[in-house]
Amino acid sequence: MKKVLLTNFIILNYTGSELDTLSMAEYFLENNYDVSIFTIQYDQPLIKELDRRIKVYDFNTVDSMDKHFDLIWAHHFPLLDYLLFSKKISADYISYFSLSSYEGYEAFPIYYKDLNYLGILSKEAYDLAKIEGYDTKKIQIFTNYSFQKYFDKKIKLSGKLKNICIISNHIPKEVIDATEIFSNNNYNVDIYGMGGGLLIY
């Protein structure tokens, strides 16, 4: 069985990088990989969403982790640095994904050209990486994705629309403005996501 190691700073809340890590872990699990995640902190509420077959490690348990993987799928370069250079973890193939053009820990590691695959969140982030001096020839913009199981669900609406849920960690102003319009027209609006560093719902 092939082994994959994913990295993410935290497995804790329902934020973008955490959900992406969880989704990819489930994808690899469904494709018969032995799946491990390395993180700084993991706890409720998100940890309850992880399949029990997924192994989660932090700084306290890293020494019990396998030393070699078929694939490392990494977010947040300081974690990758720590595993490769301090803990001597190795892999046949290493993919690194930058999920933001603003957070320092989302930068590409200094050895980025030696990695097998480099992904970046958006055209905006790609253009900024170019301005910052990265050689972007190997960097691929990865698109939003969704797995087939979500399209297979059949949903039937019964009655009149009354409740609206907005899910985003980066809610644009026009969507916030729309919530006021909905509320003023007797719709119930809930927002789930990170706003100003706080989980709102």
Residues 124, 162 share a domain: no
Written as six digits, the tokens of 44 are 């409720």
Residue type, 2: K
- Residue 174 and residue 133 share a domain: no
- What local confidence, expressed as pLDDT, does residue 142 receive? 84
Question: Are 42 and 135 in a shared domain?
Answer: yes
CATH number assigned to the domain comprising residue 90: 3.40.50.2000
Angle at 7 between CA 63 and CA 123, to 5 degrees: 160
Whether 69 contacts 63, CB under 8 Å: no
Does residue 114 share a domain with residue 18? yes
Share of the chain residues as helix, strand and coil, in percent rounded to the nearest 5: 35, 30, 40
Residue 198's pLDDT is: 44
If one counts the domains in the chain, the total is 2
Model pLDDT, residue 29: 95
Whether residues 12 and 97 fall in one domain? yes
| pLDDT above 90: residue 65 | yes
- Over range 155-182, report the average pLDDT: 81
Residues 118 and 184 in one domain: no
143 and 160 together in one domain: no
Tokens of 16: 């973008």
Q: What gap in Å lies between CA 14 and CA 187, rounded to an integer?
A: 25
Please give the residue range of the domain that contains residue 173. 156-200
Q: Is the pLDDT of residue 23 over 80?
A: yes
Tokens at 113, concatenated: 């050209």
Rounded Cα gap, residues 95 and 119, in angstroms:
8
Where do runs of H (alpha helix) occur along 31-116?
77-81
In a shared domain, residues 102 and 176: no
How would residue 168 be classed by pLDDT, with cut points 50, 70 and 90?
A: confident
Same domain, 88 and 122: yes
> What's the alpha-carbon Rg for the chain, to the nearest Å?
19
- My answer on whether 129 and 172 are in the same domain is no
